[in-house]
Amino acid sequence: MDDTLLALLRRVDTPTVCNAIEMVEGKRGFDRFTRGTMLCSDPAGGALVGYARTAKIAAVAPPTEPPAVIKQRRMAYYRHMASGPRPAIAVIEDLDGENAVGAFWGEINTTVHKGLGLSGALTNGVMRDLGDLPDGFPVVAGSVGPSHAFVHVREIGTQVAVHGLALADGELVHADRHGALVIPSACIPELGAAIAKLLEVEGLILGPAREVGFDIDKLETAWAAFEQART
């Protein structure tokens, strides 16, 4: 992914990228996206774009392994987050699922991850310390809560599932307040052109609809141009 495409992806929202992927694929039905409503720590902060650095955590119950093992795994987790291609996003599955109570993403951990060079985090789990999270590190999470409970790392670098989206370590992710998706590697070479074309085509409807005097006759004319441009 070159810098031009990266800058473009950071400017557009996730629904636009979803539509552009379908344009590249030449059909509807792309389904590698999250399901349900997610929460974003900084809705106005733009999109998260980066290669997934994956892990799994749990927090409802305390770990059963020796403390030394848990500590060693936590440091191995941070080493994993500090490595790999950039830009990168921490993509964390909370194994507690709908019962998740442990906020892995608070002021300290987000600041640490930003310092390690990550661009943000995506999780089905919990975030907290809203208002105190560092600028430039958005978190897209399943819920907000006050406690870290017994949060601990279970797995590092394995396939994870976040709100119905299964993804592997290293896959390219786009996320914002709408949720997240995986950008298929085969789509990357044509994605920039598809986004530009999509925005141009949408303008055929949005432009007239925003003008004074817009009516059904102008809609019919605009819609005909819109449909022709999409074919």
Quick check: helix, strand or coil at residue 159?
coil
- Using CA atoms, how far apart are residues 101 and 126, in angstroms rounded to an integer? 6
For the chain, give every domain's residue range. Answer: 33-183, 189-230
pLDDT tens per residue across span 9-37: 999 999 999 999 999 999 999 999 999 99
pLDDT tens per residue across span 135-146: 999 999 999 999
Q: Are 61 and 94 in contact (CB under 8 A)?
A: no
Check: pTM over 0.85? Answer yes or no: yes
Query: Among residues 114, 124, 116, 112, which one has the least CA distance to residue 160?
Result: 124
Averaged pLDDT score across all residues of the chain: 96
Helix extents (H) in the chain: 3-11, 14-25, 67-82, 107-115, 188-209, 216-230
Superfamily of domain 33-183 in CATH is Ribonuclease E inhibitor RraA/RraA-like (3.50.30.40)
- Using CA atoms, how far apart are residues 14 and 63, in angstroms rounded to an integer? 36
Band (pLDDT 50/70/90 cuts) for residue 231 is low
Band (pLDDT 50/70/90 cuts) for residue 1 is confident
Q: What is the mean pLDDT of residues 172-183?
A: 98
The token pair at 149 is 């409970």
210 pLDDT above the threshold of 80: yes
pLDDT tens per residue across span 54-93: 999 999 999 999 999 999 999 999 999 999 999 999 999 9
The pLDDT value recorded for residue 45 is 87
CA angle 153, 156, 158 (to 5 degrees): 130
